[in-house]
Structure 1
Amino acid sequence: MSVFDLSSRTVLVTGATSGIGFETARQLAERGATVLVHGRTAEAAQAATDRLVATAGINASQLCAFCADFTRLEEVETMARRVLADHPRLDVLVNNAATAAPERHTLTPDGNEIALQVNFLSHYLLTCLLEPALAREPGGRVVNVSSSLHRTASIQWSDPQRARRYSRLAAYAQSQLALTVFAADPRVTAVSVHPGVCETDLLSLYGIEGSTAAQGAAHVVRLCNPAIDVINGAYYDRDKRVEPAPAATGDRTVRRLSKLADQLVGQHA
């Protein structure tokens, strides 16, 4: 991948303590960006920033640690307020944090199916709250790290929590379809990208060998480059723009998903 300069850019990467998120943070920082490193806990976020300094030679002044447990919407809201206070201009938000749906149907303390909340609803809330920072200067954008598994999914509008019929693969795929649909929301310029099947904690969902996390991250980082023009709602399979699943397109679907998400995040928005 060609090297480009991001020294004037500020980027928030969710789920940046391991896997593709950590490698995305590293590659962005190596290109000069100020990187806001999100972890589930303050300790995890700080450990990731320390590791970037120690192993990748990143200047500590380029890194800022932020924490929020995405199973708790209140923590997402608190983190967003802190980001807005400390970084009123945000050039890119990389919505990367993800969890594999567990074998058994599991609800968060907010009452949402865990994969739906961690992989989509928390990112929806975070993006909406950070809209002022992303819109402060022209060119602000969101990069949703999605999955090709969105092609196997459907959003269960009457039972989004999958309470009546649960399958971990279907729940995970639904969360990735929702994230892909959300990229077409007109409020903030956004794209979604399938970074390839990579050797991360989610590899077991695919049942095949994967590329390295660094290789997957390179496709995410490329879309953070302001020299790459993006079209709102575009979907990329690694470095190629392709059409998403038919279920991910359509203005009505985008509006319907936003309405559902607004209901599920409730007062936190």
Structure 2
Amino acid sequence: MTDWTTADIPFLSGKTAVITGATGGLGYETALALAGAGAIVILTGRSDAKGLRAIEGICNRFPNALIAYENLDLASLASVADFARRFAASNEQLDLLINNAGVMALPKRQETTDGFEMQLGTNYLGHYALTAWLLPMLRRAKAPRVVNLSSLAHRSGAINFDDLQSRRSYRPWRAYCQSKLAMLMFSLELQRRSDAAGWGVHSFAAHPGYARTDLIPNGPGTNTLSWRVGRLLQPLISQSAAEGALPTLFAATSPAAEPGGYYGPNGFYELKGAPMPAKIVPQAKDFAAAAMLWDVSATLTGVSFDEIAAAA
């Protein structure tokens, strides 16, 4: 695993992949690699113009790529459900779902269409609902995989069930860390529930380390001392978006990736490097909290895995 690269991705002909937030950054690099391996890749995002440019870029690299773009706004449960309906209407099964899209540390509290705090709603709740809606298509595939993007920031996260939407107190980084902890807890809980219910879905989590993407320049605090110091050190402690996508691609495709696993870079503090098993902090392993988060998510979104599985 130490030297794992995109050259190690197996041939994926006939496999269908959906990637959220795939019009740039990590999602684009993930889509590019999967398309190059022969997969049918569906890029999703909020900007049709960016989607078309992404397709053009991938086709320039791989003229025979089997790719398409679909509009999907994870900050809208209606958009999530609509995408799932469109996908189900034209696809029998789904082999790979990569829940990649995200927003980071918005300076001021914002809300999604459904009234959720924006980071929790976009980074986590939208992906929870999307995965649930796509469960029937995942179950029809052979050894389907779901990869959920977490972050090193999960290590500082805590699930505040008393103020989950940060209405009483909003701090940008605290809300971001909570959302990324929620993604990791969701990934681990999904594997437990899949095993218990016999869904056959293999769940993984990954993080990119410190990858140079638009997510960071577009975040808050770009005039702070810590930001300026970080920019000076960036060449030493960061990696490209293509390198940052490797843990996701390993989790998505490698026979060595273990269901329920979490993968990140193998360098200092997991900032950069080739994929390896990543550190999971104790709060992410709290089974009771994960079960509570799952139930709260079902209530907030109105989407139940069990009901969707039973109706399929």
TM bin, normalised by shorter chain, reads over 0.9
For residues 5-84 of structure 1, the aligned pairs below 5 Å read: 5-54=11-60, 56-60=61-65, 62-84=66-88
Are the aligned partners of 2:250 and 2:257 in contact in 1 as well (CA < 8 Å)?
A: no
**C-alpha displacement at 1:226, in angstroms?**
5.2
Cα distance in structure 2, aligned partners of 1:216 and 1:88:
31
Deviations, residues 9-44 of structure 1 (Å, cap 9, x unaligned): 211111000000001000111111110111113333
User: Corresponding residue for 1:253?
Assistant: 289
SS of 1:224's equivalent in the other structure is helix
For residues 175-214 of structure 1, the aligned pairs below 5 Å read: 175-184=179-188, 185=190, 186-187=193-194, 188-203=201-216, 207=227, 208=230, 209=234, 210-214=238-242
Aligned partner of 2:64: which letter? N
1:96 corresponds to which of 83, 95, 100: 100
SS of 1:142's equivalent in the other structure is strand
Aligned partner of 1:52: which letter? I
SS of 2:302's equivalent in the other structure is helix
User: Corresponding residue for 2:146?
Assistant: 142
Percent identical among aligned pairs is 33
Are the aligned partners of 2:138 and 2:144 in contact in 1 as well (CA < 8 Å)?
A: yes
**C-alpha displacement at 1:264, in angstroms?**
1.6
Cα distance in structure 2, aligned partners of 1:163 and 1:114:
11
SS of 1:65's equivalent in the other structure is strand
Deviations, residues 190-211 of structure 1 (Å, cap 9, x unaligned): 1111111111123356953221
Structure with greater helix percent: 2
Cα distance in structure 2, aligned partners of 1:131 and 1:58:
31
**C-alpha displacement at 1:51, in angstroms?**
2.2
Gaps in structure 2 of 5+ consecutive residues: 195-200, 220-225, 266-274, 306-312
**C-alpha displacement at 1:267, in angstroms?**
6.0
1:113 corresponds to which of 113, 117, 120: 117
Deviations, residues 77-121 of structure 1 (Å, cap 9, x unaligned): 100111122222111100000111311111112100000011001
Deviations, residues 107-162 of structure 1 (Å, cap 9, x unaligned): 11210000001100110000001111111133101011110100001011011111
Task: State the TM-score, normalizing by the size of structure 1.
Answer: 0.93
Cα distance in structure 1, aligned partners of 2:246 and 2:109:
33
Aligned partner of 1:257: which letter? L
Deviations, residues 206-264 of structure 1 (Å, cap 9, x unaligned): 953221000011221122215234222x2112311134111111321221111111122
Cα distance in structure 2, aligned partners of 1:253 and 1:117:
18
Q: What is the RMSD of the two structures over their aligned residues, measured on CA atoms? A: 1.9
Q: 1:88 to 1:226 in 2, by over 3 A?
A: farther
SS of 1:15's equivalent in the other structure is coil
Q: 1:153 to 1:195 in 2, by over 3 A?
A: same
1:128 corresponds to which of 103, 128, 132: 132
Aligned partner of 2:214: which letter? D
Q: 1:53 to 1:24 in 2, by over 3 A?
A: same
1:152 aligns to 2:156 (yes or no): yes
User: Corresponding residue for 1:222?
Assistant: 250
Q: Computing the radius of gyration over CA atoms, which structure comes out larger, 1 or 2?
A: 2
Deviations, residues 49-91 of structure 1 (Å, cap 9, x unaligned): 122113x13425x002111112211001100111122222111
